[in-house]
Structure 1
Amino acid sequence: MPKELYIGLMSGTSIDGLDACLIDMQSGKPQVIAVDSCKWSDTEAKALHELCQSSNDEIEKEGKACVFIAKKQAFLVNDLISKAKLKNEDIIAVGTHGQTVRHRPKLNFSKQLDLGPLTAALTGIDTVVNFRAADLAAGGDGAPLTPAFHQMMLKNDHRDRYVLNLGGISNLTVIEKSGKVLAGFDCGPANTLLDLCCRELFNKPYDEDAKIASQGKIRQDWLCELLDHPYLKRDFPKSSGREDFNEKTVKKYLNLVKNKEASGADLLATLCEFSVRAVIDEIIKIKQRFTSLDKGDLILCGGGAYNPLIKQRFEEYCLKLDLKVLRSDEVGIHPSYMEAEAFAWFTYMCINGKPIDLTHSTGAKYPTILGCICPASTGRFVKSRIK
């Protein structure tokens, strides 16, 4: 059978780099052919972080960012195809998530910086962008989108499954044994506050292997204040971002550390615990609501899945919840490339005109076809119309 090749690109809320995943859809289910990634340069990362907050001359800054994002995407796509010993014309389409800089579902928009026509021009491959807009138009939050992918890839006939992506923000998908998605929503911060404090206090992009946090102690007074955040009191469906969890959330604690009135290690330890508790508290509520849920698996993916302190704390809490904690590579999906693979699949669904049902997670009123197609001049879309 001829291969049906698609590439998905993902840059998350943490703004640590760009991930790419090449899949083959000939069997009807994604088969990963190759993965690749690249880091944002310090200048690029700084520009993207700044665009997550209001500032002067945002339109100019946004335009420049869209150009360097598209160029970086094209570089990574071309590199991935070369490493896979393929040609660009072998790829049906590329799907790019872009870089989220605003997520305002209550105002009916979510802004991902991207420039699909430039990526298409630099690769010669049809490029799909703006995946969240159709869900928002259907009355959904536009996030999280991945529960539909989690359902297809990770449902289990014998065990309930909780799939937890620990990126900048944590999002949880709950799949019962029947394969039905009971819920999919953002729980709270995963790495975004941790990484922010690492940049501010230790001039590091993140706390590798939780080396700093492991030296600290959880400040229960801070933890209680953090767990009182209004977002955590909302019922699902709900989605979050830096609009809810940002420097204001931790400003008080950062100032105490900078004034040498508290420990930076204690702050990171407390934020690790906050990330875990925000999820555990939601799982407890889910199990109370859906009494059919029994023993199951908590499957961790995203960058936070590699944080040994966070994983340890999940294991300790989940003992009482009859949940076994696994990293997604233990069930066949690379933790760092789960979302890139999902966007490759979304791209396949868009190109083939197949709607995705996210009514159970985003609150959309009906299934939608996600994404907008930017045809390349030598891509499949144009070629299919040449008589």
Structure 2
Amino acid sequence: MRPLYIGLMSGTSLDSVDAVAFEFDASGCAMLASHSEPFPLPLRQQTLALMHPGADEIERLGRLDLELAELFASAANNLIDRNKLDRQRIRAIGSHGQTVRHRPEARFTLQIGDPNLIAERTGLCVVADFRRRDMAADGQGAPLVPAFHEALFRTPGASRIIVNIGGMANITLLPGDTELPATGYDTGPGNVLLDYWIHRHQALGYDHGGAWAATGTVLPELLQHLLQLPFFSAPAPKSTGREQFNPDWLQQRLLESGFGQRAPQDIQATLLELTAVSISNEIMQVTDAGCDIFLCGGGCHNSLLTKRLETLLQPYTLSTTATLGLDPDWVEACAFAWLAGRRLDDLSGNMPAVTGAVNERVLGAVYSP
């Protein structure tokens, strides 16, 4: 019987903690169960506040480190109990934690959600702190999921691109020629600005299907102003987060461009176009037509966004990772279950071609039950 791993992932959007049960060995892999633990609103608000510099950050960090750990442990325990999983089969929990700072230019990243407490509450081995070892080896510490994408989705003779659209968006390039390395990097904002803008003006958590954006008109001048950010033209390796794409950045760009008084739905339409164009521009620059594109992450449910990507990426074929056998909503959580297994087997978890690290490294710290 194959060993079982739990993967925990809380992304930039802060909508829930995703928990999966994932089994794998040399013969194959499968996701057995999944569970989403909603973020309590007060905890979400406190975490968002911590993501922006302010007073008493050390005090807030210490408290939230424990509160988030309780939430992660609850997600793991609920996944196990509701699916009647055998705890004796579970080799480890791979917990990504919640990123509250990501500063690759300063070789600094921080994810919180104390793994010591998760181990105590679940009685299971926990593997966490995946990013900092790569960063210590001169890498960006992100994105890490391309290594999982390669292990699970790469097939000789089939050129593929995996597009993950979470709060931020990233791409993984999987050449059909196995002599060529897989690569990947962040392309810019995914849902993060869209979610912020609709919450501000409609008090909604997200724009379902892009319906609100569809009522607006893209503002080309504003779009071009947003795309002037050096990040978009910077070469890989590159990674980003809320430190760059946040409400303050957006408000400043609206003020500079003189579009701050335009209809909110027009801004939303333009932000959706920013996500679509920043993703498609990168793909068109790095590969030729003839490969298949597979979407994952919450953004793949935004039908307006996927339609724009289909239009911008013609003649590429777009589908989701469900076509490859893994539900697009759970790919990232599965990736950290997989990374936990790599750590316990003393196998590398990073891809230097992606992060820029000097070499492969075993990622993560182990916390025994």
Task: Sort the TM-score into its range (normalised by shorter chain).
Answer: over 0.9
User: Cα offset for 1:264?
Assistant: 1.1
Q: Deviations over 1:227-254 (max 9, x none)?
A: 1111112100111111111113320576
Q: Counterparts of 1:83-94 in structure 2 under 5 Å? A: 83-94=82-93
Partner of 1:133: 132
- 8 Å CA contact retained: 2:293, 2:318: yes
Corresponding residue for residue 344 of structure 2: 351
Whether the 8 Å contact between 1:169 and 1:190 is mirrored in structure 2 is yes
Deviation at 1:183, TM superposition (A): 2.1
Q: How does 1:150-299 map to 2 (within 5 A)?
A: 150-179=149-178, 180-252=180-252, 261-287=261-287, 293-299=288-294
- Which range is displaced more, 296-305 or 78-87? 78-87
Q: Which amino acid aligns with 2:9?
A: M
- Give secondary structure in 1 for the equivalent of 2:52: coil
SS of 1:206's partner is coil
1:339 aligns with 2:338: no
Contact conserved, 1:147 with 1:181, CA < 8 A, in 2?
A: no
Task: Give matches, 1:367-378, under 5 Å.
Answer: 367-376=360-369
Distance 1:281 1:182 in 2: 19
The residue type paired with residue 341 of structure 1 is C
Structure 2 match to 1:325: 318
Q: Partner amino acid for 2:313?
A: C
Say whether 1:310 aligns with 2:309: no
**Is the 8 Å Cα contact of residues 208 and 307 (structure 1) preserved in structure 2?**
yes
Which has the higher mean CA deviation after the structures are superposed, 111-120 or 260-269?
A: 260-269
Which residue does 1:360 correspond to in 2?
353
Letter paired with 1:323 = Y
Q: Deviations over 1:110-152 (max 9, x none)?
A: 1101201100000000111100011111111000001111111
Q: Distance in 2 between matches of 1:260 and 1:102?
A: 28
**1:25 has 2:18 as partner:** no
Contact kept, 8 Å, 1:218 with 1:273, in 2: the verdict is yes
Number of aligned residues: 368
- Which of 87-96 and 102-111 deviates more? 87-96
User: Alpha carbons of 1:362 and 1:253: their partners in 2 closer, same or farther (altered >3 Å)?
Assistant: closer
1:89 to partner: Cα distance? 3.0
* CA distance in structure 2 between the aligned counterparts of 1:340 and 1:260, rounded to whole angstroms: 37
Tell me: CA distance 1:357–1:28, structure 2 relative to 1, closer, same or farther (3 Å): farther
Mapped to 2, the partners of 1:339 and 1:70 lie a distance apart of 18
Residue-by-residue CA offset, 1:287-308 (whole Å, 9 max, x unaligned): 3xxxxx4401111110101000
Indicate the SS of the match to 1:25.
strand
Q: What TM-score comes out, normalization by structure 2 length?
A: 0.95
Q: String of CA shifts for 1:265-321, please: whole Å, max 9, x gaps.
A: 11111101000111111112213xxxxx440111111010100011000111111xx
Give the distance between the partners of 1:132 and 1:53, measured in 2 at CA.
20
RMSD: 1.9
Q: Residue 284 of structure 2 contacts residue 313 of structure 2 at CA under 8 Å; is this kept in 1?
A: no
| 2:365 partner amino acid | C
**Equivalent position of 1:74 in the other structure:** 73
Task: Give structure 1 stretches of 5+ with no counterpart.
Answer: 288-292, 377-387
Q: Percentage identity across aligned positions?
A: 33
| Stretches of structure 2 lacking an aligned partner (at least 5 in a row) | none
Return closer, same or farther for 1:360/1:233 CA change in 2, 3 Å cut-off: same
Q: Deviations over 1:328-365 (max 9, x none)?
A: 11221111100000000000000111113411100011
In the TM superposition, what is the alpha-carbon distance from 1:156 to its structure 2 partner? 2.8
CA distance in 2 between partners of 1:87 and 1:186 (Å):
37
TM-score (norm 1): 0.91
- What does residue 41 of structure 2 align with? 42
Distance change (3 Å), C-alpha of 1:129 and 1:28: farther
Q: Give the counterpart letter for 1:190 in structure 2.
A: G
What one-letter code is carried by the residue in structure 1 that aligns with 2:213? A
Matching residue of 1:113: 112
The answer to whether the Cα contact below 8 Å between 1:148 and 1:357 also exists between their aligned partners in 2 is: yes
Cα pair 1:96 1:128 within 8 Å, conserved:
yes
Give the partner amino acid of 2:346: G
Q: Report the Cα offset of residue 153 of structure 1.
A: 1.2
What amino acid does structure 2 have at the position aligned with 1:62? Answer: L
